[in-house]
């Protein structure tokens, strides 16, 4: 299990959809539909992260966040909000949130932000990713294979990190483009193929092409 996540949203279908996507990624997930229930479950369950809608029927997500922080509960929080005004985002962050996602959003975007927040807030002993004989050390910002240091550019490092987080899972070029080059990147997905080829020269045998779909990090068959 990667961790426990509490999803709070009064739109039951949306909460269930987000919960299903997170469970597919290996998380244990609980849901709540009100602010009061969110407060109770955040204390009872001690989740690793809370995905919290701002517009709730009783207590707003902002107030839930404020009350948690006032109790010195520092669980990372990602706000879900239909509001996109800058002042609303600033208010959420000032209340103690770690990130926000504006509705409507893609599940891929939310999953990526969950991973980023958890990587940023987990204890240092979780700062290493490993696959086969490959180790990516996020604190040292370096990659080693069988103990030998591999020299990577910042983009190669980000690409490898995303592949390792999703090892065994087939990723499309668009998914990789969105997560490694950020969501506002205006270039072609041909850049993904180019950087995959760069990585393969340095990390042989672990990155595989799935025809007409994308790429996957797995052991050779």
Task: Summarize pLDDT for 58-101 with one digit per residue, the tens.
Answer: 999 999 999 998 888 889 999 988 766 566 667 777 778 888 88
d(CA 137, CA 217): 18
Asked if the model's pLDDT at residue 157 lies above 90, the reply is: yes
Which pTM does this prediction carry?
Answer: 0.57
Cβ atoms within 10 Å of 112's Cβ, excluding its own = 20
| Mean pLDDT of the residues in the chain | 87
Question: Which strand (E) or helix (H) includes residue 100?
Answer: strand 99-102
d(CA 44, CA 23): 20
Q: Is the dihedral of CA 9, 14, 20, 26 positive or negative?
A: negative
Asked if the model's pLDDT at residue 183 lies above 70, the reply is: no
The pLDDT assigned to 94 comes to 79
pLDDT confidence tier of residue 9, bands split at 50, 70 and 90: very high
pLDDT confidence tier of residue 149, bands split at 50, 70 and 90: very high
Residue 50, token pair as written in the block: 């809370």
d(CA 27, CA 189): 30
The pLDDT assigned to 106 comes to 87
Asked if the model's pLDDT at residue 125 lies above 50, the reply is: no
pLDDT digit string, tens, across residues 32-61? 999 999 999 998 888 999 999 998 999 999
CB of 55 closer than 8 Å to CB of 9: no
d(CA 192, CA 62): 38
d(CA 3, CA 21): 14
The pLDDT assigned to 133 comes to 94
Average pLDDT, integer, range 159-178: 87
């Amino acid at each position: 299990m990667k961790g426990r996540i509490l999803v709070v949203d009064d739109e039951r279908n949306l909460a269930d959809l987000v919960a299903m996507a997170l469970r597919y990624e290996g998380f244990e997930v609980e849901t709540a539909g009100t602010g009061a229930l969110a407060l109770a479950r955040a204390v009872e369950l001690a989740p690793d992260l809370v995905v919290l809608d701002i517009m709730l029927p009783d207590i707003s997500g902002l107030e839930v966040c404020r009350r948690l922080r006032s109790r010195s509960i520092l669980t990372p929080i990602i706000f879900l909000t239909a509001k996109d005004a800058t002042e609303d985002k600033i208010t959420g962050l000032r209340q103690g949130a770690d990130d926000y996602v504006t509705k409507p959003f893609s599940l891929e975007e939310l999953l990526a932000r969950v991973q980023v927040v958890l990587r940023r807030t987990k204890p240092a002993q979780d700062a290493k990713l490993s696959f086969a004989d490959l180790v990516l050390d996020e604190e040292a910002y370096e990659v080693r294979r069988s103990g030998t240091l591999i020299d990577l550019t910042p983009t190669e490092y980000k690409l490898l990190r995303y592949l390792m987080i999703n090892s065994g899972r087939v990723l499309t070029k668009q998914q990789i483009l969105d997560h490694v080059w950020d969501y506002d990147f205006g270039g072609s997905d041909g850049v993904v193929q180019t950087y995959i080829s760069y990585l393969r020269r340095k990390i042989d045998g672990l990155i595989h092409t799935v025809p007409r779909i994308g790429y996957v990090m797995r052991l050779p068959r």
